[in-house]
């Protein structure tokens, strides 16, 4: 038996030889990563720099966009390196770091969506009491909880994973994941399996139950409220529900019976599509954000035109 501390690297066997096409894949992945970083960073700057957006809903959105940057940065630079490399290996320390990033990203995403549903519930069901219920201290506490709990849960998970005795170092994926490492273990994994099950249900089931409860209350208010109330609920809840469905769909697959190429696509889906899906969905649907982005674009175009005219005059 080989102790995990003696293993210096893992081999990622899901990669296959793409020949000259690897440069095309590299350009596609790099373009996607640049688009994700640009879109999320733009919305973070817009929210932070405009006082009119310093409201609870936009603060939670900002936290969501930061998480998209965090999750995609835990995968894309590594993926780009592996695409160009002929030897698909990763050091044990970096593998566990990537496990922390990928899994904590997923947990933070669910918590963020749950907190956002709670915020919409207060705004729609208790509009007159919203400002007194959703105070600055409460916003800070919810955002802190959204990030600290998943990180703490992952520290515990890694502390249980790293001492495992491993009988191999081949991971059948394009990035490191906890269950892939645990499958290599020759020692008893019952403790980590129980903890993983509890942590997963505590994160996903807890978040989904909160979202389900808040939307049941929102629907009740919508059916008994005015047309204006229903329109407000639809405009603010549609992007949130779309984001939740996209993430839940993208992160749950049984990939044992699908071709290798499709397995890779599905395993990367929730780490690539969600970081791009959220800024586009919220940027297009939130009128305040859309108008501010449009005004910034018009200002930049106007400045460039005026500078061109002054250069021509000179």
**Mean of the per-residue pLDDT values of the chain:** 81
Number of domains in the chain: 1
pLDDT at 3: 44
Average pLDDT of the segment spanning 298-308: 59
Question: Higher model confidence: residue 166 or residue 66?
Answer: 66
| Rounded Cα gap, residues 229 and 61, in angstroms | 22
Average pLDDT of the segment spanning 213-224: 82
**Other CB atoms within 10 Å distance of the CB of residue 152:** 11
Cβ partners under 8 Å of residue 79, min gap 6: 29, 174, 175, 268
Which residues form the domain of 123?
2-297
Q: First vs last Cα of the chain: how many Å apart?
A: 77
Domain-located, residue 303: no
Residue 166 scores a pLDDT above 80: yes
Average pLDDT of the segment spanning 191-204: 86
The answer to whether 40 and 275 are in contact (CB under 8 A) is yes
Paired sense of beta strands 9-12 and 165-166, if any: unpaired
Q: Which is nearest to 182 in space by CA: 99, 78, 268, 65?
A: 99
pLDDT at 290: 72
Domain-located, residue 93: yes
- What digits encode the pLDDT tens for the residues 83-134? 888 888 888 889 999 999 988 998 999 899 999 989 988 988 888 899 899 9
Domain-located, residue 305: no
What value, to the nearest 5°, has the Cα angle with vertex 46 and ends 41 and 51? 145
| Rounded Cα gap, residues 66 and 285, in angstroms | 19
- Is the pTM higher than 0.75? The answer reads yes
Domain-located, residue 302: no
Domain-located, residue 313: no
The CATH number of residue 119's host domain is 1.20.1070.10
Domain-located, residue 311: no
The answer to whether 175 and 106 are in contact (CB under 8 A) is no
Domain-located, residue 236: yes
Tokens 């894309």 correspond to: 76
Domain-located, residue 304: no
């Amino acid at each position: 038996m080989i102790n995990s501390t003696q293993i210096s690297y893992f081999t990622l066997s899901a990669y296959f030889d793409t020949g000259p096409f690897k440069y095309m894949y590299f350009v596609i992945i790099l373009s996607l990563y640049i688009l994700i970083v640009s879109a999320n960073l733009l919305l973070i700057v817009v929210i932070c720099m405009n006082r009119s957006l310093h409201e609870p809903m936009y603060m939670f959105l900002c936290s969501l966009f930061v998480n998209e940057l965090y999750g995609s940065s835990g995968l894309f630079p590594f993926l780009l390196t592996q695409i160009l490399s002929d030897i698909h290996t990763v050091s044990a320390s970096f593998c566990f770091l990537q496990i922390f990033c990928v899994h904590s990203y997923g947990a933070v995403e669910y918590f963020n969506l749950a907190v956002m549903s709670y915020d919409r519930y207060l705004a729609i069901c208790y509009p007159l009491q919203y400002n007194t219920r959703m105070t600055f201290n409460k916003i800070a506490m919810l955002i802190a909880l959204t990030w600290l709990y998943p990180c703490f849960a992952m520290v515990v998970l890694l502390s249980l994973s790293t001492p495992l005795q491993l009988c191999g170092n081949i991971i059948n994926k394009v990035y490191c994941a906890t269950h892939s490492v645990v499958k290599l273990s020759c020692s008893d994994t019952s403790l980590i399996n129980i903890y993983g099950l509890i942590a997963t249900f505590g994160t996903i089931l807890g978040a989904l139950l909160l979202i389900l409860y808040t939307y049941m209350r929102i629907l009740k208010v919508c059916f008994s409220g005015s047309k204006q109330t229903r329109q407000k609920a639809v405009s603010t809840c549609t992007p949130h529900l779309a984001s939740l469905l996209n993430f839940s769909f993208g992160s749950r697959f049984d990939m044992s019976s699908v071709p290798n190429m499709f397995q890779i696509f599905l395993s990367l889906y929730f780490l690539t599509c969600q970081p791009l899906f959220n800024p586009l969905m919220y940027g297009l649907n939130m009128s305040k954000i859309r108008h501010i982005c449009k005004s910034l674009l018009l200002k930049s175009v106007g400045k460039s035109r005026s500078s061109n005219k002054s250069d021509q005059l000179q």
